[in-house]
Structure 1
Amino acid sequence: MGIISAIAVFFVIWWTVLFVVLPFGMRVPENEELRLGTQEGTPTNPRIGRMALITTLISIIVFVTYYVMTQVVGFGLDDIPSIIPGT
């Protein structure tokens, strides 16, 4: 795997993990806390930096697992048995 491919795979993993991690710990404001001009579902304290850090750490773990399984162990799509019988 080349460096460009590795960056592309990491980028896809990072965005996927971001959308999984983003809702964790979000709190929506109560009616009395709602400011004029904001929607009801707007989080009160989104902590985007913290979410990006958590996303990066989880993505590194997932990417290292992917890299070891595909490059070191040699596991690939051809190793997955066929689901359709008779093919």
Structure 2
Amino acid sequence: MKWTSMLAIYVLFWTISLFVVLPFGVRTHDEEGTRPEIGHADSAPVNFSFGRVALRTTILAAAAFGVFYANYVYGWIDANMMGWTT
């Protein structure tokens, strides 16, 4: 597999992982017992940290890509097993 293909697949895993990780650890103003600023939604997070979310996303994406690449190298699951033969 070319490194450009690996990078593209990793970026896809990272993007999917971002949406999986995004809702975890978010607390709203109601949960914190505070009032949101004027113009903010009631459901807006109190303290959103993109760095923390990006770190969690990177770890999850790396683990998922590792499993994907190991399957690519060792062939644990292939097209024949999935019934996708041509």
Deviations 1:14-65 (A, max 9, x none): 0101100000011111274211111111100111110100110111111111
Distance in structure 2 (CA, Å) of the matches to 1:38 and 1:81: 48
| Structure (1/2) with the larger helix percentage | 2
**4+ aligned runs moved over 2 Å, structure 1:** 74-77, 79-83
Question: Which residues of structure 2 form unaligned runs of 5+?
Answer: none
* Aligned residues: CA RMSD: 1.9
Aligned pair in 2 of structure 1 residues 81, 64: CA closer, same or farther (>3 Å)? closer
Q: Which of 47, 54, 71 is equivalent to 1:52?
A: 54
- TM-score, normalised via structure 2 length: 0.84
TM-score by length of 1: 0.83
Give the unaligned 5+ runs of structure 1: none
Could you tell me the percent identity over the aligned residues? 32
Q: What is the number of residues matched between the two proteins?
A: 82
